[in-house]
Structure 1
Amino acid sequence: MGQPLNIGVIGCGAIIAQYLASFRKLAAVRLVAVADLDSARAQAVADTYDGVRALSVDRLLAAADVDLVLNLTIPAAHADVALKAIAAGKSVYGEKPLAATTAEARAVLESARAAGVVVGCAPDTVLGTGVQTARKAIDDGLIGTPISATATMATPGHELWHPNPDFYYQPGGGPLLDMGPYYVSALVTLLGPVVSVTGAASHTRSQRTIGRGPRAGEVIPVDVDSHVTGILVHAGGAISTLVMSFDAVRTKSPNIEIHGQAGSLVVPDPNRFDGDVELFALGAPEWETLPASAGFMEAGRGFGIADLAATPAGAEPRAGGELAFHVLDVMESVLESARSGSAVAVRSTASRPEPVPLTRPAIPVEFLST
């Protein structure tokens, strides 16, 4: 108690920079080691962070001073790395999705329960002031009983900017499993768990061309659906419509919009921690921007780990494995429905995570003067 949670990171790709920025300002966590199949990449990260060792994956898993493994590998490797970390007695926090399939994710959660360790999972963007302020508005009754929601993500594809986009178009990727966790996690946080879904999906191109980096011009295969639509029925009765696309060029639709009988709410991008929440109350003359009233302020990727570190023993973290499993189950059910042409009952559920009061991060003493 009172000591920082020691973190070892496996996977030193582009996303790690955002976690490093957060770790530098979070008193609840301490980065101690990094590992990558490319040892030079791990060493490059260690060289930028005082006191951090670059290790092999096996040595990191065996390290006595690593309390939690942050799993930043590609989605296809999420379950394998998590299971190895759990077998080594470590808690795990993974990038989204929790695993490539619910079967793999279930094995991770069951292994963690048997080992007595904790599982957390991105996205933790839902803990920021954007989604949390919207949640407080709903909980405070500003829109009345929620009726419906729309969630829209439209982009022509990550190959336009990512130098190694292959995994986005392999099993475990695609617009739904890649970007859907942000949107579905936000919808569950705002409206509660999902009980059934209906889905449709299309696969418009069998190949993509890398647009940037040393592999620019290289053609890669597409083995997943690249445009997915889902209708989600929440346990509380609200109905959400989800559109996730790697085929569309652009949209002017709000990222998320919630409608109730007393008002409508525009929720900011769930891939961000902040952003304006707008309310149009029944009878009001115009949209009103709500002040930030809940959530972690100045947050970034990794705040979910700090929240996990502060979660009482035996309690589920806000960005925990239960929520991540349910979100994955919802997305997998949407794809199952798209294949079958029939509605699918979502077999899992999850408690709506506890709200986050408006909170500033606890900054380590060594950074207070900088």
Structure 2
Amino acid sequence: MDLSNIDLSKFDGLAFIWLDIETITGTGVYDTLSSPDTWFVHKNPDVCEDFICSDLKNKQIFLITSGSLGHKIIKSIHHLPQLHSVYIYCQDIARHTPLASEFKKIRSVCNKTQSLISQLAIDVAHICVNIGDQHSRLNKHKQALVWYERAFEKIKQHNGLTKNEFVNALKSKINISTLECQRFQQHRQQLGEGMNEVKYQHELLRQLLDVPTPLSSTEKDDKHIAATIKKIDEWERKNIQQIKTVAERVRQQLQKQINEINKVNKVKHDFRLINDELRQRQSEDDYVEADLQQWLERLQQLKHQLETTTISDTSQIDVQITDDIDWSSMVKLVESDVSKTWVRTREISMVESL
């Protein structure tokens, strides 16, 4: 029997159909076999076919039919995926048995109620196990257990078998699914306890946050943070300006030294000019009293300029920069305890070290 997987996303349960011109009698045993599903009774094969095609697309169908009506309907519905098994219940077994060779979904051709019920019970049990296995592979052990127990119930009530390979395997599946359900229940209980702890902590935090104030805590916090950022910005601008002021003063001091050096260099240049002129005029004996007086005045001027100049060795001029400033200690955030009714909060403020 083909027990290929059923698409559980579309599966809508089992369906049982009785197709016979004669009225079915003694339905009690059939009802327990199909339970919790019900039987659909038809006398017209065309109406039955329409019903199967339109209303039972997502079912798995077990069809019991008389021999004469079976010949009329089986050929046209045998290909339908929702048709699971067919049982021909008739008086003339020899006449209808060849039909079973042609159509593999025909599970039995019989004329005894017990034989029919026994085979139907086995087939229903097999499909229940197949569905249970699919649920089990999806870790849906509770659903799997329902189908396994249904399979065992059908075998026990309507087939009488309690010990064979299939039944033993079924019992094992029931035991495994039962254990998995117990584990799942224990796990859900643990999750429930964890959820209670989460809800408890959630409520505690809600109470801490739900403190009535004239100004909402969020708005107040935003204003305080904005004020703190403003302090930091002001400290930054102030110290940047101080650094710029000091740097400019040092630059001016350096420029003053450069100017003094330039003055000395000019004195040296003018002195060389006078020196050259004196040598030339003396060697040519070409000078008078006025020349002597002019040279003396120029020399006195250069001497005065040299004496009034602060001369430094340029190779010794450098700038001393210290990296010992601990900027992290100059400005930092501090926390001060502030009482708010029954809840304690932290207020961030800024301490400057200038």
Task: Report the TM-score range of the alignment, normalised by the length of the smaller protein.
Answer: under 0.3
Higher relative contact order (CA 8 A, sep 6+): 1
- Specify the structure having the higher radius of gyration (Cα): 2
Structure-1-length-normalised TM-score: 0.26
Structure-2-length-normalised TM-score: 0.27
Name the structure with the higher strand share. Answer: 1
Name the structure with the higher helix share. Answer: 2
